Structure 1
Amino acid sequence: MNNKHLLYYLFGLLLFASSCSNTKYLKEGELLYVGGSVKVEGKEIPKKERKALKKELEDLLRPKPNSRILGLRPKLYFYNIAGTPKKDKGFKHWLKYKVGEAPVLFGQVDLQYNADVLRNYTENKGFFKVQVESDSTRKGKKATAEYIVKPGKQYKIKQVTFPEDSSEVAKAIQKTKRRSLLKVGNAYDFETIKAERERIDERLKERGFFYFGADYIMIQVDSTVGKQEVDLIVKVKDETPAKAKEIYKINDIIVYPNYSLRDSIQNVDKDVVQYKDFTIIDKEDIFDPRIFDRTLYFHKGDIYNRTDHNLSLNRLVNMGTFKFVKNQFRPADTTGNFLDTYYYLTPLPKKSFRVEVLGKTNSANYTGTELNINWSNRNTFKGAELLTVTAFGGMEVQVSGQNNGFNVYRIGGETSLIWPRFIGPFKLKASSGFVPKTKASLGYEFQQRSKLYSLNTFKGSFGYLWKENIRKEHQLNVTDIVYVSPQNVTSLYDSIARTNPALQRVIDKQLIFGPTYSYTFTNTMRKRKKHTIYFKGGIDLAGTITGLATGADVRAGNQKEIFDVPFSQFVRLEADFRHYLRLGNESQLASRIIVGSGFAYGNSEQMPFIKQFFIGGTNSIRAFRARSIGPGSSEPVTSTAFLPDQSGDVKLELNTEYRTTLFSIVKGAVFIDAGNIWMLNDDEPAKNFSSKFLDDLAVGTGVGLRFDLSFLVLRTDLAFPIRLPYGDKRWVLDDIAFGDGSWRKQNLIFNLAIGYPF
Structure 2
Amino acid sequence: MNELLRRLLPLLATAVLAGGCSMTRQLKDGELLHYETQLELNTPLEGKAARRLESELSVIPRPEPLPKRQKWRVSLYNRLTRKPQKEKGFRHWLQTKVARPPVLYQADRIERSRLALLKRLYDEGFFHAEVAYDTLSRGRKVWVRYEIGTGQPYRLRQIEGPEDSLPLAQRLEVSQENSFLQPGQAYSQSDLAAERQRLADLANDLGYFKVRKNHFYFFVDTALGSNEADLYWRLNVGDDSTILQTYYHRNDWIYADHRLDRPADAESLDTVAFGPRYFLQSRQIVRPGLLNRVFREEAQLRYSRQRQEALLSRLQDLGIYRFINLQVQTGQDGEDAWLDRRFLLTPGFMQDVLAEFQSHTRSGSYLGLGASLTYAHKNAFRGAERFDLSLSGGVETQLNNPGELINTVDLSA
Tell me the TM-score range normalised by the shorter chain. 0.7 to 0.9
State the one-letter code of the partner of 1:326.
N
- Which residue does 1:218 correspond to in 2? 217
Q: Distance in 1 between matches of 2:78 and 2:298?
A: 65
Q: Give the 3 Å change call, closer, same or farther, for CA 150–108 of structure 1 in structure 2.
A: closer
Q: Distance in 2 between matches of 1:151 and 1:195?
A: 24
- Which residue does 1:58 correspond to in 2? 58
Q: Distance in 2 between matches of 1:74 and 1:170?
A: 61
- Which residue does 1:566 correspond to in 2? none
Q: Give the 3 Å change call, closer, same or farther, for CA 88–420 of structure 1 in structure 2.
A: farther
**Residue ranges of structure 1 left out of the alignment (5+ in a row):** 1-9, 351-377, 379-386, 424-434, 460-758
- Which residue does 2:392 correspond to in 1? 444
- After superposing the two structures, state which structure 1 stretch, 177-186 or 52-61, moved more: 52-61
Q: Distance in 1 between matches of 2:397 and 2:55?
A: 61
Identify the match of residue 72 of structure 1 among 61, 67, 70: 70
Which residues in structure 2 correspond to 1:38-57 (within 5 Å)? Answer: 38-42=39-43, 44-46=44-46, 48-57=48-57
Residue 259 of structure 2 corresponds to residue 311 of structure 1 = no
State the shift of 1:110 in Å: 2.5
State the shift of 1:120 in Å: 1.6
State the shift of 1:323 in Å: 4.2
State the one-letter code of the partner of 1:121.
R
State the one-letter code of the partner of 1:33.
H
Q: Which has the higher contact order (CA 8 A, sep 6+)?
A: 2
Q: Distance in 1 between matches of 2:278 and 2:395?
A: 52
Asked whether the 8 Å contact 1:249–1:337 carries over to 2, the reply is yes
Residue 349 of structure 2 corresponds to residue 389 of structure 1 = no
- Which residue does 1:181 correspond to in 2? 180
Q: Distance in 2 between matches of 1:420 and 1:243?
A: 46
**Post-superposition CA distance 1:679-721 (Å, at most 9, x none):** xxxxxxxxxxxxxxxxxxxxxxxxxxxxxxxxxxxxxxxxxxx
- Which residue does 1:134 correspond to in 2? 133
Asked whether the 8 Å contact 1:79–1:101 carries over to 2, the reply is yes
Q: Distance in 2 between matches of 1:262 and 1:388?
A: 23
- Which residue does 1:531 correspond to in 2? none
Q: Distance in 2 between matches of 1:219 and 1:34?
A: 42
TM-score (norm 1): 0.46
SS at match of 1:226: coil
Identify the match of residue 412 of structure 2 among 444, 458, 461: 458
Asked whether the 8 Å contact 2:74–2:102 carries over to 1, the reply is yes
- Which residue does 1:124 correspond to in 2? 123
Asked whether the 8 Å contact 1:85–1:92 carries over to 2, the reply is no
Q: Give the 3 Å change call, closer, same or farther, for CA 213–117 of structure 1 in structure 2.
A: same
Asked whether the 8 Å contact 1:62–1:109 carries over to 2, the reply is no
State the shift of 1:252 in Å: 0.8
Q: Distance in 1 between matches of 2:73 and 2:184?
A: 48
Identify the match of residue 372 of structure 2 among 400, 406, 412: 412
Q: Distance in 1 between matches of 2:176 and 2:26?
A: 59
Work out the percentage of aligned pairs sharing the same amino acid.
21
Asked whether the 8 Å contact 2:374–2:388 carries over to 1, the reply is no
State the shift of 1:450 in Å: 8.2
State the shift of 1:117 in Å: 1.3
SS at match of 1:146: strand
- Which residue does 1:101 correspond to in 2? 100
Q: Give the 3 Å change call, closer, same or farther, for CA 108–14 of structure 1 in structure 2.
A: farther
Q: Distance in 1 between matches of 2:306 and 2:228?
A: 37
State the shift of 1:161 in Å: 0.5
**Post-superposition CA distance 1:413-457 (Å, at most 9, x none):** 122344599x9xxxxxxxxxxx9x756442314376987997836
Q: Distance in 2 between matches of 1:144 and 1:339?
A: 61
State the shift of 1:211 in Å: 0.3
Residue 160 of structure 2 corresponds to residue 196 of structure 1 = no
Q: Give the 3 Å change call, closer, same or farther, for CA 238–258 of structure 1 in structure 2.
A: closer
Which residues in structure 2 correspond to 1:124-523 (within 5 Å)? Answer: 124-138=123-137, 142-237=141-236, 239=238, 241-260=240-259, 263=262, 265=264, 268=267, 271-275=270-274, 277-296=276-295, 298-317=297-316, 319-332=318-331, 334-335=333-334, 336-348=336-348, 378=350, 387-394=351-358, 409-418=369-378, 440-446=388-394, 456=410, 458=412
Q: Distance in 2 between matches of 1:449 and 1:141?
A: 80
State the one-letter code of the partner of 1:442.
S
Equivalent pairs, count: 393
**Post-superposition CA distance 1:601-637 (Å, at most 9, x none):** xxxxxxxxxxxxxxxxxxxxxxxxxxxxxxxxxxxxx
Q: Give the 3 Å change call, closer, same or farther, for CA 147–393 of structure 1 in structure 2.
A: same
State the shift of 1:204 in Å: 1.5
State the one-letter code of the partner of 1:72.
Q
Q: Distance in 1 between matches of 2:90 and 2:297?
A: 58
State the one-letter code of the partner of 2:39.
V
Q: Distance in 2 between matches of 1:154 and 1:253?
A: 51
Asked whether the 8 Å contact 1:412–1:444 carries over to 2, the reply is yes
State the shift of 1:78 in Å: 5.9
State the one-letter code of the partner of 1:151.
T
Which of the two has greater strand per residue? 1
Q: Distance in 2 between matches of 1:154 and 1:284?
A: 64
Q: Distance in 2 between matches of 1:15 and 1:447?
A: 64
**Post-superposition CA distance 1:509-538 (Å, at most 9, x none):** xxxxxxxxxxxxxxxxxxxxxxxxxxxxxx
- Which residue does 1:503 correspond to in 2? none
State the one-letter code of the partner of 2:60.
L
Asked whether the 8 Å contact 2:61–2:110 carries over to 1, the reply is no
State the shift of 1:73 in Å: 5.2
State the shift of 1:393 in Å: 1.8
State the one-letter code of the partner of 1:444.
S
Q: Distance in 2 between matches of 1:139 and 1:457?
A: 82
Asked whether the 8 Å contact 2:15–2:75 carries over to 1, the reply is no
Q: Give the 3 Å change call, closer, same or farther, for CA 456–64 of structure 1 in structure 2.
A: farther
Q: Give the 3 Å change call, closer, same or farther, for CA 95–330 of structure 1 in structure 2.
A: same
SS at match of 1:268: helix
Asked whether the 8 Å contact 1:319–1:420 carries over to 2, the reply is no
Q: Distance in 1 between matches of 2:128 and 2:148?
A: 11
**Post-superposition CA distance 1:555-586 (Å, at most 9, x none):** xxxxxxxxxxxxxxxxxxxxxxxxxxxxxxxx
State the shift of 1:303 in Å: 2.1
**Post-superposition CA distance 1:633-668 (Å, at most 9, x none):** xxxxxxxxxxxxxxxxxxxxxxxxxxxxxxxxxxxx
Asked whether the 8 Å contact 2:394–2:409 carries over to 1, the reply is yes
State the one-letter code of the partner of 2:177.
R
SS at match of 2:345: strand
State the shift of 1:160 in Å: 0.6
RMSD: 3.9
Asked whether the 8 Å contact 1:85–1:93 carries over to 2, the reply is no
Q: Distance in 2 between matches of 1:124 and 1:184?
A: 17
Asked whether the 8 Å contact 2:370–2:392 carries over to 1, the reply is no
State the shift of 1:60 in Å: 1.0
Q: Give the 3 Å change call, closer, same or farther, for CA 262–40 of structure 1 in structure 2.
A: closer
Q: Give the 3 Å change call, closer, same or farther, for CA 271–200 of structure 1 in structure 2.
A: same
**Post-superposition CA distance 1:714-738 (Å, at most 9, x none):** xxxxxxxxxxxxxxxxxxxxxxxxx
State the shift of 1:180 in Å: 0.8
SS at match of 2:70: coil
SS at match of 1:171: helix
Asked whether the 8 Å contact 1:66–1:73 carries over to 2, the reply is yes
